[in-house]
Structure 1
Amino acid sequence: MTIKIVQTDRELQDAYHVREIVFIHEQHVSPELEMDEHDQSATHFVGYVKGEPLAASRLRYVDEYGKLERICVLQEHRGKHYGNQIIEAMEEEIKRNSYQKAKLNAQTHAEGFYKALGYETISDEFMDAGIPHVTMVKTL
């Protein structure tokens, strides 16, 4: 997979398209919650295989953390380590910007996936967009 930090309108639309399929259509998150005010200032990532967008995420800097958000891979492409690759790219960008810590709010069904990547759960379960989540952190 080729991962790009979004530079063009086309790449941004590709990232939004993947997010729309995964979060709005598959997980039934309302469009108003999925596409929020932070999209304007975030750094967006999009992953391509053979020119087709199939993974996306965004990164923001909050306090001392690089905050990984909206991480998603199209359903038919899960299990191929694309999620690991996009997280790795995000962590590299965090370090390039002189931050040492990463943070994310993981859907609880994905908590084990993030633990395997070195993230530690630091919160109790909470609901976000009607989906149970936990907050996780990692020192880079």
Structure 2
Amino acid sequence: MNVSVKKITSEDKSDAFCVRRRVFVEEQRVPMELEIDEYEDEATHFVAYIDGEPVGTARLRWKDHLTVKAERVAVLKPYRGNGVGKLLMQALEEEARRKNATSIQLHAQIQAQQFYERLGYKAYGDLFFDADIEHIAMKKTFY
């Protein structure tokens, strides 16, 4: 399985939105009005492709001049467990480091917490709900 991850332009987010719609809206029943938010234009979006088909996506957004936040990380169900999510997170981390971020934060759905822990993220704070899905805040420091 040949996976490629590409940073996409702000004008061409349709592949990212397609994956997010299938995962968050259709599979997890998140309302579309919560899924698409005011940060779409300021975020940097990435899409994972297999044979030209979008199978995963994630976005990166600056919180302050040293901290970025990974958001909207999603992989289509048939492709989970095959390294697609790991490649997306590596792309986000490389972009963050390239722009001199010192840490990356995210809000992980509880079922994905172990995935992020394997990538070096540490949980902090209390569990909370977002879109009726239980989450935990996580962080990885680069330096």
Alignment match, 2:45: 44
Change (3 A) 1:74 1:60: same
* DSSP 3-state at the match of 1:92: helix
- One-letter code of the match for 1:45? F
Write the letter of the residue equivalent to 2:28: Q
Say which of 69, 72, 78 aligns to 2:71.
69
Q: Which residue number in structure 2 is paired with residue 14 of structure 1?
A: 15
Gap regions ≥5 residues in structure 2: none
1:87 aligns to what? 89
| 1:55 match | 56
Contact 2:10–2:45 (Cα < 8 Å) also in 1: no
Distance 2:70 2:55 in 1: 17
Aligned residues: percent identity?
A: 42
Aligned length: 139
Q: List, as ranges, runs of 4+ consecutive aligned residues in structure 1 with deviation greater than 4 Å.
A: none
How many angstroms apart in 1 are the aligned matches of 2:125 and 2:74? 22
SS at match of 1:37: coil
Which one-letter code corresponds to 2:71 in the other structure?
E
Work out whether 1:137 is the aligned partner of 2:116.
Answer: no
2-structure distance, mates of 1:7, 1:17: 15
Q: Which runs of 5+ in 1 are unaligned?
A: none
Helix, strand or coil at the partner of 2:105: strand
TM-score after normalising by structure 1: 0.96
* Structure 1 or 2: more helix by fraction: 1
Q: What amino acid is aligned across from residue 134 of structure 1 in structure 2?
A: I
* Structure 2 CA distance for partners of 1:41 and 1:8, relative to 1, 3 Å: closer
Over the aligned positions, Cα root-mean-square deviation in angstroms equals 1.0
Aligned AA (1:76): P
Relative to the length of structure 2, the TM-score reads 0.94
